[in-house]
């Protein structure tokens, strides 16, 4: 499994729209995992200054992450594989 | 699994069973109704909805399907609306009650049919959802607590502030109802503080449209 960041530009987004998108992402990931395509939404960060969000997913492939976001109908600009680094890992 | 996630899972399964490519408002509404149903029947206010009459085999355990379904734009709108209602309700989570309340302004599809066949208005629907949750959990529509446990923590007797929150009205209005006798209240022995029976809250509610 790999980690991916999904970048979104969401000008004018409200906390409620983010909450709604989160619920849709969660339920679509759960459904796809039940179908055999394991994908997990890990967490998201909202950048108020740029109205962007960075959403982190764990999945076998980029395509799986893209499909989860499409099913949840959440717009995105880029999906990029990332390497995890934590204070404990260095 | 939280109630909203369960409702969504049922909606997704229904969309797959119906060979739809999108999860529409009808599937989402049926998912919510199934979550709050008992033995395939939903009782909300004076209305009774039979899931079987609505085309749902509530005993069915659908086979796992790999069909791909996405949320429809209308389903997205309903989630957005539910999130706004949750915020207004003081809840950090979207609950089935918020989703159901979000259907109040829908006049198309299954919700439109229910409105026409049962004489449901937007206000009477929202009031029925609120009453159903108040009766079930004794507080606002946020029902289960944030930790997932069942609520009802306010007990059977409410302060005027809690009663105001449950009815979504100002506390001074509650005090006025009590003074006028419209809302029964009790005084704590030897104290000025009053308490209101949760079950008495319905006495100040009346349907906008006479129910038959």
pLDDT at B26: 96
Strand partners of residue A80: A5
Residue B191 has what pLDDT? 62
Give the pTM: 0.74
Using a 10 angstrom Cβ sphere, with 0-12 exposed, 13-18 middle and 19 or more buried, the burial of residue B43 is: middle
The better pLDDT of the pair B61, B201 is held by B201
Alpha helical stretches, state H, B50-148: 73-88, 96-102, 109-118, 122-137
**B102 is a domain residue:** yes
Query: How many Å lie between the alpha carbon of A88 and the closest alpha carbon of chain B?
Result: 29
Task: Note whether residue B211 is domain-resident.
Answer: no
Name the residue facing A24 among B79, B84, B87 (closest C-beta). Answer: B79
CATH number, domain at B33? Answer: 1.10.1780.10
- What the block records as the tokens of A13 is 């987004």
Confidence (pLDDT) at B25: 97
Summarize the confidence of residues B18-35 as an average pLDDT. Answer: 94
Judging by DSSP bridges, how do beta strands B41-44 and B47-50 pair with one another? antiparallel
What per-residue confidence (pLDDT) applies to B210? Answer: 62
Distances (CA, A) of B73 to A30, A41, B5, B35, B68: 20, 21, 18, 23, 16
Contact A24/B83, CB-based, under 8 Å? no
What is the residue extent of each domain of chain A?
2-86
Q: Do B172 and B130 fall into the same domain?
A: no
**Which of B64, B72, B76 faces A34 most closely, judged by CB atoms?**
B64
- Which residue segment(s) compose the domain that B29 sits in? 3-137
Contact B79 A20 (CB under 8 A): yes
Of all residues in chain A, the percent with pLDDT exceeding 70 is 100
**Which one is predicted more confidently, B67 or B187?**
B67
Residue B64 has what DSSP assignment? P
Does residue B97 sit within a domain?
yes
Asked if A34 lies within 8 A of B73 by C-beta distance, the reply is: no
Query: For chain B, what is the domain count?
Result: 2
Residues B25 and B76 in one domain: yes
The predicted complex's ipTM stands at: 0.91
Give dist(CA B188, CA B117) in Å, integer.
46
pLDDT confidence of residue B136: 67
CB neighbourhood size of B93 (10 A)? 18
Taken as a whole, chain B contains a residue count of 212
Cross-sheet strand order for the sheet of A2-9: A39-47, A52-59, A2-9, A78-82
In 3D space, the residue among B136, B135, B103, B134 whose CA is nearest the CA of residue B121 turns out to be B103
Same domain, B130 and B166: no
User: Do B50 and B98 fall within a single domain?
Assistant: yes
Q: Is the pLDDT of residue B148 over 70?
A: no
pLDDT above 90 covers a percentage of chain B that reads: 46
Q: Is the pLDDT of residue B28 over 80?
A: yes
Considering CB atoms only, which of B64, B72, B80 is closest to A16?
Answer: B80
The answer on pLDDT for B132 being more than 60 is yes
Q: Please indicate, yes or no, whether residues B48 and B133 belong to a single structural domain of this protein.
A: yes
Dump pLDDT digits (tens) for B180-202. Answer: 888 888 877 656 678 888 888 88
Residue B85 lies in a domain: yes
Both tokens of residue B181? 């006798």
B6: closest CA among B94, B65, B77?
Answer: B94
pLDDT averaged over every residue in chain B = 84
Q: What is the mean pLDDT of residues A22-49?
A: 95
Tell me: do B67 and B31 sit in the same domain: yes
The Cα-based distances of A37 to A28, A32, A70, B72, B196 in angstroms read 11, 5, 14, 21, 52
**Searching chain B, which residue's CA lies closest to the CA of residue A70?**
B70
> Is residue B121 in a domain?
yes
Residue B83 sits in the same domain as residue B180: no
Closest CA to A70 of A43, A14, A31: A31
Which of B89, B173, B44, B209 has its CA nearest to residue B201? Answer: B173
The 3-class SS string of A57-81 reads EEECCHHHHHHHHHHCCCCCCEEEE
pLDDT at position B212 is 56
> Chain B contacts of A26, Cβ < 8 Å?
5
Which class in CATH covers the domain with range A2-86?
alpha beta
Identity of the residue in B72, B79, B84 whose CB atom sits nearest the CB atom of A23: B79
Q: Is the pLDDT of residue B161 over 90?
A: no
Asked if B105 contacts B122 with a C-beta cutoff of 8 angstroms, the reply is yes
Looking at the fold, whether B25 and B124 belong to one and the same domain comes out as yes
- State the pLDDT confidence band at B153, using cuts at 50, 70 and 90: very low
What is residue B138's predicted lDDT score, i.e. its pLDDT? 57
Chain A residues with CB under 8 Å of B76 CB are 20, 24, 73
- What are B101-112's pLDDT values in tens digits? 999 999 999 999
pLDDT for B184: 83
Between A and B, how many residue pairs show a Cβ–Cβ distance under 8 A?
Answer: 60
Flag whether residue B71 sits within 8 Å of chain A, measured between CB atoms. yes
Contact A20 B83 (CB under 8 A): yes
Q: Is residue B175 part of a domain?
A: yes
In this prediction, residue A32 carries a pLDDT of 95
Specify if B151 maps to a domain. Answer: no
In a domain, B65, yes or no: yes
Token reading at B10? 């049922």
């Amino acid at each position: 499994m790999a980690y991916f960041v999904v970048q979104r530009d969401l000008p004018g987004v409200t906390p409620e729209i983010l909450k709604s998108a989160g619920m849709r992402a969660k339920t679509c990931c759960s459904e796809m995992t039940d179908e055999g395509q394991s994908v997990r939404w890990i967490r998201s960060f909202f950048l108020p200054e740029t109205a962007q969000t960075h959403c982190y997913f764990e999945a076998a492939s980029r395509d799986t992450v893209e499909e989860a976001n499409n099913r949840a109908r959440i717009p995105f600009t880029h999906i990029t594989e990332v390497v995890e680094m934590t204070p404990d890992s260095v | 699994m939280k109630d909203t996630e369960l409702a969504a899972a049922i909606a997704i399964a229904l969309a797959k069973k119906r060979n739809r490519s999108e999860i529409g408002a009808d599937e989402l509404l049926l998912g919510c109704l199934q979550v709050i149903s008992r033995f395939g029947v939903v009782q909300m206010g004076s209305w009774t909805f039979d899931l079987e009459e609505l085309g749902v085999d509530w005993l069915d355990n659908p086979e796992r399907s790999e069909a791909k379904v996405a949320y429809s734009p209308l389903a997205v709108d309903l989630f957005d609306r539910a999130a706004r209602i949750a915020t207004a309700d003081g809840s950090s989570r979207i609950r089935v009650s918020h989703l159901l309340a979000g259907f109040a302004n829908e006049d198309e599809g299954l919700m439109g049919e229910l409105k026409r066949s049962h004489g449901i208005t937007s206000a009477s629907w929202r009031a029925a959802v609120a009453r159903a949750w108040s009766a079930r959990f004794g507080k606002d529509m946020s029902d289960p607590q944030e930790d997932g446990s069942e609520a009802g923590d306010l007990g059977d007797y409410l302060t005027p502030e809690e009663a105001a929150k449950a009815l979504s009205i100002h506390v001074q209005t509650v005090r006025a109802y009590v003074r006028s006798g419209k809302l029964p209240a009790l005084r704590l022995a030897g104290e000025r503080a009053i308490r209101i029976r949760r079950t008495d809250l319905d006495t100040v509610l009346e349907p906008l449209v006479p129910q038959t």
